[in-house]
Amino acid sequence: MADFLQLALSGVATGGIYALAAIGFVLLWQTSQTINFAQGEFVMLPAFFVLAAMKFGGLSFPMALLVGLLVALLVLGLLFKRLVVDPMLRHGVLPLVISTLALAIFLKESVKEFYAAEAQAFPAVWATTDLSIGGTVVSAQSLVIIAVAVSAVALLQYFLGATRTGRQMQATAQNPALARILGIPVERMILYTFLINAALVALASFLISPIYLAKFTNGETLGLVAFVAAIVGGFNQVRGAILGGLLVGVIDNFVAAYWSSQYRAAIPLFLLIAVILWRPQGLLGRAEERTV
């Protein structure tokens, strides 16, 4: 029972981090038809912004976290949109997809070249202690990750649903042409989406790097998992991305513990194939029609 609880908690914690990355994926698609195959590298990079701020800027960890977040918003939000998405999207979705693939390689190799090829220790924001719940030892770290991820998602849902700007962003996602006619500043709403994605991947980075260590290759696994989670949950629904992330995290853990460590990476892919075959819109997604 204790093992089951620990596995479930670890799975939900990891799944929460996957969900943050998957939500960003979905938001970018919904508002600007952007499929960002550099999303994994976007999760990898903010940790290195923080480490660089500490190493070269001499900043304390809390200040470095703030600087890392601001740099992530600038580079992964504003600059990504202005320098990559805007010029490429004019030519269609496929050129943009290829550009993000190239961007992923560029970011990965840049970190390897200009920072380090080896893994780097990344401080944890919380104390690495244990708690006893009903006689079972559980990791405080997992609980903190779950709490932070849930809070971030709840805040995002509140922002999107209960604020004027959030509703304008939803309107832009649903029908940009009509939103423009109604006087919604569509370009600004799209920019906000990119900034929100940058904030989400930064948060995911700060949560996962203390466990995975900060390494230039982290994006490879995380990007694939985020993509799978978004598809499985539903590429056109934020709550689908949340469900997808949690599902992938929990299944991955239980498969590794009770079936096979060697095949744990294959199970999310089987899940992806199954969803595409039997419910292509995702578990919580809406079926969409396309004009021909």
Partner 1 sequence: MKARHVASLLTGVLVLGAAQAQQTVNMPIVIELSGAGAVSGTNFRDGALMAIDEVNAKGGILGRRISSPVTDTQSNPGISRAQVQKAIDSDPYVILGPVFSGSVKVNMVLAQQAEIPQFTGAEAADITQMGNDYIFRTSFGQQVSMPKMANFIRDDIKAKSVAFLWVNNDFGKGGRDAFFKEMAARNIKIVADVSTESGQVDFAADIVKVKAANADAVFIYTNEEECARVLREARKQGVKVPLIGETTLIGQKVIDLAGEAANGAKGHVALTADAPIPAVLAFRDNFQKRFKYLPDHNGIKGYTAIYAVKHVTEKMGKFDRKLLAKTLHGLTIKPEQEPGVLMEATWDAKGDIDRISFLVEVVDGKQKVVQILPKLGK
158 dihedral zone (left: phi>0; alpha: psi -120 to 50; beta)? alpha
Task: Give dist(CA 120, CA 58) in Å, integer.
Answer: 17
Q: Which of 234, 235, 227, 225 lies closest to 264, judged by CA?
A: 225
Taking CB under 8 A as the criterion, the residue among 142, 193, 236, 237 binding partner 1 is 142
Q: How far is the CB of 122 from partner 1 (least distance, A)?
A: 9
Q: Based on the number of CB atoms within 10 Å of its own CB, is 101 exposed (0-12), middle (13-18) or buried (19 or more)? A: middle
Q: Kindly state whether residue 11 participates in binding partner 1, applying the rule CB under 8 A.
A: yes
**Radius of gyration (Cα) for the chain, nearest Å?**
19
Q: Kindly state whether residue 205 participates in binding partner 1, applying the rule CB under 8 A.
A: no
Q: How far is the CB of 244 from partner 1 (least distance, A)?
A: 17
Q: Which is nearer to partner 1, 172 or 209 (CB)?
A: 209
Q: Kindly state whether residue 252 participates in binding partner 1, applying the rule CB under 8 A.
A: yes
Q: Kindly state whether residue 41 participates in binding partner 1, applying the rule CB under 8 A.
A: no
**Token representation of residue 118:** 């080896």
Task: Give dist(CA 237, CA 157) in Å, integer.
Answer: 12
Q: Which is nearer to partner 1, 130 or 273 (CB)?
A: 130
Q: How far is the CB of 87 from partner 1 (least distance, A)?
A: 31
**Token representation of residue 162:** 């209960």
Check the CA dihedral 50-55-59-62 and report its sign. Answer: positive
Q: Kindly state whether residue 193 participates in binding partner 1, applying the rule CB under 8 A.
A: no
Taking CB under 8 A as the criterion, the residue among 42, 49, 206, 212 binding partner 1 is 212
Under DSSP, is residue 37 helix (H, G, I), strand (E, B) or coil? coil
Q: Kindly state whether residue 218 participates in binding partner 1, applying the rule CB under 8 A.
A: yes
Q: Which is nearer to partner 1, 115 or 159 (CB)?
A: 115
CB of 37 within 8 A of CB of 104? yes
Q: Which is nearer to partner 1, 159 or 254 (CB)?
A: 254
Q: In the range 98-117, which residues lie near partner 1 by CB under 8 A? A: 112, 117
Q: Kindly state whether residue 267 participates in binding partner 1, applying the rule CB under 8 A.
A: no
**Whole-Å CA distances, 124 to 9, 14, 128:** 18, 15, 8
Q: Which is nearer to partner 1, 122 or 227 (CB)?
A: 122
Interface ranges with partner 1 (CB under 8 A): 3, 6-7, 10-11, 14, 112, 117-121, 123, 128, 130, 137, 139, 141-142, 210-213, 215, 217-218, 221, 252-257, 261-262, 264
